[in-house]
C-alpha cells in the first residue's frame, strides 16, 4: 500500500480551498468506510497528523502576514 501513495508539495499561494478541490478531483481520497481495510487505523493516524501539520502551517503563515 505504501508504494501506491503519492507525496507531493503543492504550491497554492493564498487559495488553499481551490488547491484542495483540485487535488481531490485529481486524486480522490482513500475510501476507508464500508469494508474491513486492515490499514485503516494507520491511514486514520496519518490523516490526523497531516491535518495537524496543515493547521500548524496555516497558523504560522497567518502570524507572518
Model confidence pLDDT, tens digit, residues 15-52: 888 887 887 777 766 666 777 878 888 888 998 999 99
* Position 2 confidence tier, pLDDT thresholds 50, 70, 90: low
What dihedral angle (degrees, nearest 10) is formed by the CA atoms of 28, 49, 64, 6?
A: -40
- The pTM for the full model equals 0.48
> Which of helix, strand or coil describes residue 64?
helix
Q: What pLDDT score does 4 carry?
A: 61
Amino acid at each position: 500500500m505504501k508504494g501506491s501513495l503519492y507525496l507531493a508539495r503543492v504550491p497554492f499561494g493564498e487559495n488553499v480551498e481551490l488547491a484542495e478541490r483540485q487535488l481531490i478531483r485529481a486524486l480522490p481520497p482513500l475510501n476507508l468506510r464500508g469494508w474491513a481495510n486492515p490499514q485503516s487505523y494507520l491511514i486514520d493516524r496519518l490523516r490526523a497528523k497531516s491535518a495537524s501539520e496543515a493547521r500548524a502551517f496555516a497558523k504560522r503563515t497567518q502570524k507572518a502576514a
